[in-house]
Amino acid sequence: MISDMLNAIVPISRFNKGEANKIFDEVNKNGYKIVVKNNKPTCVLITPERYREMEEIIENYNLLIEAERRMENAKDDDFIYSEEVLLNLGITKEELSNIDEVEID
């Protein structure tokens, strides 16, 4: 674990020497690099895929916090039973059971 961290450190001077493409290849291979300037971490380079994963994790966490907050303040009359929702939408339980997967954005 510590050796992984040490291998992830990249002095900014490598960029000044024109090694950016090589560093980016290392990021794609190893997942991240920590750029240091004057022996202090300046930034972390990660792949776009990992960045999107992190954004999604943060968004999901924020949604969870909001849902928990709403549940703490909810009253019984704030809820609608699923049967009522289905009836209002004109959907039967049988129709729902025939759906393989639903994606909600």
pLDDT digits (tens, 9 = 90+) for 20-56: 999 999 999 988 999 999 999 999 999 999 999 999 9
Residue with the larger pLDDT of the pair 45 and 101: 45
Which two three-digit tokens encode residue 5? 């961290």
Phi, psi of 5 (to 5 degrees): -65, -45
Residue 85, H or E segment: helix 82-89
**Whether residue 40 sits in one domain with residue 79:** no
Residue 104 falls inside a structural domain: no
Burial class of residue 75 in the structure, from the number of CB atoms within 10 Å of its CB (0-12 exposed, 13-18 middle, 19+ buried) = exposed
What local confidence, expressed as pLDDT, does residue 97 receive?
81
Q: What is the DSSP letter of 60?
A: H
30 and 59 inside one domain? no
Tell me which residue range forms the domain holding 70: 50-97
Q: What is the CATH number of the domain that holds 11?
A: 3.40.1620
* 41 and 54 assigned to the same domain: no
Shared-domain flag, residues 41 and 61: no
Quickly state the pLDDT bin for 105 (edges 50, 70, 90): low
| pLDDT tens column, 53-94 | 999 999 999 999 999 999 998 888 888 888 899 999 998 888
- Quote the tokens at residue 93: 């339980």
- Do the domain assignments include residue 90? yes
